[in-house]
Amino acid sequence: QVELVESGGGLVQTGDSLRVSCAASGSTLSGYAIAWFRQAPGTEREFVAAVSRVGGFTYYGDSVKGRFTFSRDNGKNTVYLQMTNLKPEDTAVYYCAAGRRVITSSLRSPGAYDFWGQGTQVTVSS
């Protein structure tokens, strides 16, 4: 069992940068696949980025590739999503998720993850 708490969201302007965090407790994140998803009102949850449990490979959604960076601090049991060149279409609630049995082909699927945080709101004004 792992508990996830996101933080760091806020209101920024187009072109700004922001880093959101996901702190874990109850279990070390090193044994999990970890992902970031986002959801805007009236839309489905969208894959943003993930790191695989085996090998630690990082994957990004097409809409954020080259702008967002996934990182982790094992000592703090925390993962981060560094977001640069933010756009209004990045506005959403950002969630982190963890799963022990996520295979590579399912990394982009919300249903593959067992544990979710409560989310943090990111709003990008134009």
User: Residues 91-120: pLDDT tens digits?
Assistant: 999 999 999 999 999 999 999 999 999 999
Asked whether residue 5 carries a pLDDT value surpassing 90, the answer given is yes
Taking all residues of the chain, what is their mean pLDDT, rounded to a whole number? 96
CA angle 86, 65, 96 (to 5 degrees): 75
Burial code (b: 16+ CB inside 10 Å, e: under 16) for 40-73 equals: eeeeebbbbbbbbbeeeeebbbeebeeebebebe
| Per-residue model confidence (pLDDT) at position 31 | 87
pLDDT in tens, 60-71: 999 999 999 999
Q: Whose CA is closest to 82, among 1, 2, 16, 5?
A: 16
Is the pLDDT confidence value at 55 over 90?
Answer: no
pLDDT above 90 (res 30): no
